[in-house]
Amino acid sequence: MSSTYTYPGVYIQELQSPVHTIAGVATSIAAFVGFTARGIDNRAQEIFSFADFERLYGGLASNSEVSYAVQQFFQNGGTQAYVVRTPMHYPAGPPAPVPYAEVAIANGEVTFKALSSGVWANGQLLVDIDVVGLDLTADPFAFNLTVTDLLDQTSESFPSVTLDNTRQNFVSSVINDPDNGSQLIAVSTSLPAPPALPNALATTGVLGTALTITGAGGVNSALGGGTATANADCNLVLTIPHVAATPVTIKVIGNGNNIPQTVTGLAAQLQQALNNWLMVNLPGASVICSAEPSGGAGGSGIAVRATIPNQPDVVISFGTPGSGHDASVALGLNAPAHANVAHYALGGATANPLPGITCTQATQPSGLPQSAELIGDPLAFSGIYALNKVDLFNLLCIPEAARALPGDPNSADPNINATQIYSAAIALCVQRRAMLLIDTPPNVNTVSGAVDWKTNGIGVVNANGAAFFPRLRLADAMNNGKLRTFAPSGVVAGVYANIDATRGVWKAPAGIEATLNGVQNMTYNLSDQENGALNPLGLNCFRTFPLYGPVLWGARTLVGADAMANQWKYVPVRRTALFLEESLYRGLKWVVFEPNDEPLWAAIRLNVEAFMDSLFKKGAFQGTTAAQAYFVKCDSETTTQTDIDSGIVNILVGFAPLKPAEFVVIQIEQLAGQTGS
């Protein structure tokens, strides 16, 4: 931009540089779609290790093909992946299926629902609501929300959320935020006006906060008439349906015993009294009582958290004793200044719910995900289409598309239509410039079966896919290390990632360096002649060689059959092209809306040539000179005046791909005997 020159002197102007560096994109980000033991349904989540998978999806599960595939991916060199958990298949009913455990409070106006479908969540996801430390005069509908996962003993805390839907910290907005919200539950509300949360003097589920005892100013005088000792027994009445048929009186402080002078001391006394009774009458159950601050003028209080093992329908409540001091009154339990802490278990206490609370347990599904669940809905971003919310992925693995029947590793699951799944998946891969890794079906165990499957069975023919034979045998950590047959896509994705990292995407991900870590055997061991029958069809084979062990011994795409003579015959050529396309697509965004004339074309040539030259120097292309390896053309020949008038700039980029040496021919010639001269 020009300056206004007013005084004699030196003026500085910063000029726009024509250099816009193009960065190469990642090439080996894997995406796995299928059932996992737990995790958020139909949401792609990024992981960088199998430990991440264990944390988010529950780790290995014998009925989860994806869990093993992810483990094999990281074992073989993978470093980054996305996982989409597809829910199990639920019957249509009647009765209507209930995939998700939930609990509704305030007479159904607020509902907490598990994000992960399945019966595993029944009584295992817990919600605590309290108002500790909050000023309810500013927002009478504010509360603190804590979500606990009992299976791995983790929790999420969301302080100071509200039922007032006019505020930014409205509970639904906070909890349902896909980035910063809960990874365990979703919240829905039907609020014509913010409801009042119930004051729960009970706990449902396995773990929770039973009550808050407010430390009122007259505690000691109520117990001992102003003395340091109690002048009568101080009792609470404990009721546990199914365990204690009738209310039980618990002595908190005996007549004549010392009265604790602090809230902390009172909490310890209450904890000891409750645990003494539970130890005898309900082995394994316990409570923890702690002093916690309460907001406003109420001072401090006592929070009681009860653990009741194997009793998801237990309700603990405290009532008024018939004799002695009423501990609930003396300790301020009935003080109206602050709502008691409430605890709710999703899919929990269906037999004895608290007033205004409805617990709904998830029902048992009829089986593993079927084709419809795996494919999903593009409008709902479910199934494979959950990946449309991911910025970039390169390798798509759907091992459940080749799922075997439970207990019969040689029979395909009839509920899976592999052709239907692969047709949708390959279309997604073309759209996202990714590769689909296709697994051998469990019933293809012979060379003739493999020939028929590759020729007629896959149902898709596209350069953005590759198929592999045979299936692989690895140790199953869930079955004492016994060998189990697996779909190979997880191993292959890891091998691809490893070769990309060490050699580059232009190197064929096959050969003696493409070792298969963890693989101990295969469902079929190919000979050279049998391999020679499958390779010309474009079917990539696994082989075992002395010293090297099991390796990937093929690098052809689905259009890699010799008879097709397709330019995208080889996997590295196709993947290099996809890498270039995605890198240039992202690296040339700056061109949009720039003046479409020679200065722009020159800048485009400068930047694209710099990018291509950097790859040439890394050995990505064939040729000994840059002119032999690539060219970039963007000028008045590629972009005519008609194109300019239409707002189009055309860029032509050519490259000489490196093609793998599949057939090494060694010619040996015998020299005829010669006489010396």
Residue 66 has pLDDT above 50, yes or no: yes
- 406: DSSP letter: T
How high is the pLDDT of residue 303?
60
Q: For helices 50-57 and 65-75, what crossing angle results, to 10°? A: 160
Residue 406 has pLDDT above 70, yes or no: yes
C-beta atoms surrounding 647 within 10 Å? 9
Largest CA distance in the chain: 132
How high is the pLDDT of residue 2?
59
Residue 189 has pLDDT above 80, yes or no: yes
Of the pLDDT bands very low, low, confident and very high (cuts 50, 70, 90), residue 42 is very high
**Domain 30-89+367-573 falls in which CATH fold?**
Rossmann fold (3.40.50)
How high is the pLDDT of residue 56?
94
Which of these ranges, 64-73, 142-151, 252-261, 458-467, has the smallest mean pLDDT? 252-261
Residue 489 has pLDDT above 90, yes or no: yes
Q: Check whether the bond before 599 is cis (ω within 30° of 0).
A: no
Whole-angstrom Cα distance, residue 644 to residue 642?
5
Whole-angstrom Cα distance, residue 480 to residue 476?
7
Of the pLDDT bands very low, low, confident and very high (cuts 50, 70, 90), residue 236 is low
pTM of the complete model: 0.82
Whole-angstrom Cα distance, residue 112 to residue 567?
54
* Collapsed DSSP state (helix, strand, coil) of residue 536: helix
* Collapsed DSSP state (helix, strand, coil) of residue 86: coil
How high is the pLDDT of residue 302?
60
How high is the pLDDT of residue 238?
63
How high is the pLDDT of residue 49?
98
Whole-angstrom Cα distance, residue 338 to residue 545?
74
How high is the pLDDT of residue 288?
66
Four-residue CA torsion sign, 345, 350, 352, 358 = positive
How high is the pLDDT of residue 312?
39
Residue 321 has pLDDT above 50, yes or no: no
According to DSSP, the residues that pair with 113 across neighbouring strands are: 102, 186
Whole-angstrom Cα distance, residue 305 to residue 312?
15
Residue type, 283: P
Residue 71 has pLDDT above 50, yes or no: yes
CB 510 within 8 A of CB 539: no
Burial class (CB in 10 A: 0-12, 13-18, 19+), 92: exposed
Residue 571 has pLDDT above 60, yes or no: yes
> What CA–CA distances, in Å, run from 578 to 27, 557, 572, 583?
9, 13, 10, 8
Task: Give the start-to-end residue ranges of the domains of the chain.
Answer: 30-89+367-573, 94-200+341-365, 208-336, 598-671
How high is the pLDDT of residue 356?
55
Whole-angstrom Cα distance, residue 28 to residue 223?
70
More confident residue, 169 or 239: 169
Closest CA to 557 of 464, 418, 657, 447: 464
CB 645 within 8 A of CB 597: no
Residue 615 has pLDDT above 90, yes or no: yes
> What CA–CA distances, in Å, run from 51 to 42, 487, 639?
20, 21, 51
Residue 419 has pLDDT above 80, yes or no: yes
More confident residue, 643 or 266: 643
More confident residue, 510 or 254: 510
Mean per-residue pLDDT, 132-148: 81
Q: What are phi and psi of 482, to 5 degrees?
A: -70, 150
Which of these ranges, 19-33, 342-356, 477-491, 578-592, has the smallest mean pLDDT? 342-356
How high is the pLDDT of residue 218?
32
- 621: DSSP letter: B
Q: How far separated are the first and last CA of the chain, in Å rounded?
A: 85
* Collapsed DSSP state (helix, strand, coil) of residue 105: strand
The token pair at 625 is 């000179």
Which of these ranges, 77-91, 139-153, 175-189, 383-397, has the smallest mean pLDDT? 139-153
More confident residue, 342 or 232: 232
Whole-angstrom Cα distance, residue 47 to residue 626?
38
Element holding 573 (H helix, E strand): helix 571-587
Q: What is the mean pLDDT of the chain?
A: 82
How high is the pLDDT of residue 268?
81
Whole-angstrom Cα distance, residue 424 to residue 422?
5
How high is the pLDDT of residue 443?
95
What share of the chain in percent tops pLDDT 90?
56
Residue 670 has pLDDT above 90, yes or no: no
What share of the chain in percent tops pLDDT 70?
78
Which of these ranges, 4-8, 104-108, 540-544, has the smallest mean pLDDT? 104-108
Of the pLDDT bands very low, low, confident and very high (cuts 50, 70, 90), residue 109 is confident
Residue 215 has pLDDT above 90, yes or no: no
Closest CA to 23 of 633, 610, 619: 610
How high is the pLDDT of residue 216?
29
CB 263 within 8 A of CB 298: no
CB 67 within 8 A of CB 37: yes
Mean per-residue pLDDT, 278-293: 69
Pairing verdict, β 30-34 and 315-319 = unpaired
Pairing verdict, β 30-34 and 81-85 = parallel
